[in-house]
Amino acid sequence: MNIQLSEHFTYKKLIKFTIPTIIMMIFTSIYGVVDGIFVSNCVGSDAFASVNLIMPVLMILGTIGFMVGTGGSAIVSKTMGEGDKEKANEYFSTLNYFLIVIGFILTIIGLIFIEPISKLLGAEGDILENCTIYGKVLTIALIPFLLQNSFQSFFIVAEKPQMGLKISIMTGVTNMILDFLFIYVLKKGIFGAALATLISQTIGGIIPLVYFIHKNNTPLKIKKTKFNIKILIQTCINGSSEMLTNISMSLVNMLYNMELMKFAGSDGIVAYGVIMYIAFIFSGTYIGYSIGSAPIISYHYGANNKEELKNLLKKSVILLIITSVVMTIIAEIFAKLLASIFVSYNQSLLEMTTNAIRIFSISFIISGFNIFASSFFTALNNGLVSAIISFLRTLVFQVMMILLLPALFEINGVWFSVVVAEILALIVSTIFLIINKKKYEYA
């Protein structure tokens, strides 16, 4: 029996409802890591550096899917909580049509500008060629990639988080099998890695689209609807924090890469690439919980159930504190093992990456609360506060630190930048939660 958004959530129910989304995000990160392992070990460090150099650009193109998913799901959930399911479906349909149109436009733009952008990022020779191949192939799958990112949130609104998990597992297993086939067996190199990802993203986007177009046993269905510019603008504003987060992370990753090139050359980029893969897995827990709990918060906000908002915030903070301590300890203990999965073939690179992981992992004890705080305000349909937290956390504070700390501590300053940025963001998140508690009565 499915747990309904309208229910009172105990710890058990909250964990049970959000765990499929948490597993989905972790699994999505893991199959991305497998992609990196195959490229690094079977194609080489230059190819791995190429993937990490162009990946931020591809993630920027995919941010609209996250924006529509998080911002739109909060509005649709709130509308359902208000009792207007017909209007909720109209909004849901409009947003999916928008993603298909904007995805087509961005695909054309991406195919034209991938190579010039790669050059701008400093790619030359084989690295430039690999960046261009990888980038163009994945750009072709942009429409299903946008849909896949969006449906991660809408499956939760539809009270079917388990289905979102099943599709994620399907796409992940497909990607890993095809990585083995294209890279290891057929020796297709960087093109094989890109093709495997393209096919898996297509599966991840098209299956949910077909499911919601046809008759189903959820509150959501894609149907004919009038274009609603107002709801589109509201969605973009409300989901702007998630879009800013992904864009900022991509831009900051570019800055990290440029700084690391000064101190350690391509080895620095490889080490940072390993950290990002590991961070995706650990942060996936926080992101999965935030995405999984957001529609519940939005529903009870729409239903004006203030006692349940208090309950959800209190339980969420306690769960996040426990999880963040456990995950930080795990990352510190297994830093060398995690690094060796990617770069065991080079002792000096292994030592650099292990040290980087141990420093960077300190941020895990703080970042979960910041991620949830931003998502919490998105769920309350307060896109402005959510965007401010995300903008400061993922761009302003990190840029400040990446420009300041390396000048003082050289390469270790690069790894410490995110830790200090998360501490500053924690202060901002706490301030916003305090000053808004009377407005929303969640504490």
Q: What is the pLDDT of residues 168-183, one digit of tens each?
A: 889 888 988 998 999 9
Least confident segment among 335-339, 347-351, 394-398? 347-351
Domain assignment present for 4: no
Q: Quick: pLDDT tens for 265-315.
A: 767 777 887 888 788 888 889 988 998 899 999 999 988 999 999 999 999
Domain assignment present for 52: yes
Give φ, ψ of 384 to 5 degrees.
-65, -50
Q: Are 125 and 42 in contact (CB under 8 A)?
A: no
Which of 281, 5, 228, 285 is closest to 95 using CA atoms? 228
Q: Cα angle vertex 66, ends 233, 84, to 5°?
A: 55
- pLDDT on residue 32: 67
Domain assignment present for 5: no
Which of 402, 381, 443, 320 is closest to 70 using CA atoms? 381
Averaged pLDDT score across all residues of the chain: 88
State whether the Cα torsion 336-338-343-349 is positive or negative: negative
Domain assignment present for 48: yes
- pLDDT on residue 5: 85
Domain assignment present for 6: no
**330 band by pLDDT with thresholds 50, 70 and 90:** very high
For residue 405, pLDDT over 60 is answered with: yes
Domain assignment present for 307: yes
Q: Are 89 and 221 in contact (CB under 8 A)?
A: yes
State whether the Cα torsion 406-343-168-59 is positive or negative: positive
Which of 120 and 241 is assigned the larger pLDDT?
120
- pLDDT on residue 236: 85
The share of the chain scoring above pLDDT 70, in percent, equals: 99
Which of 181, 190, 215 is closest to 40 using CA atoms? 190
For residue 350, pLDDT over 90 is answered with: no
Looking at the whole model, is its pTM more than 0.85? no
Domain assignment present for 3: no
**407 band by pLDDT with thresholds 50, 70 and 90:** confident
End-to-end CA distance of the chain: 31
Domain range enclosing 100: 11-440
Query: How many separate domains does the chain show?
Result: 1
Domain assignment present for 125: yes
User: Average pLDDT in the 378-386 region?
Assistant: 89
For residue 51, pLDDT over 60 is answered with: yes
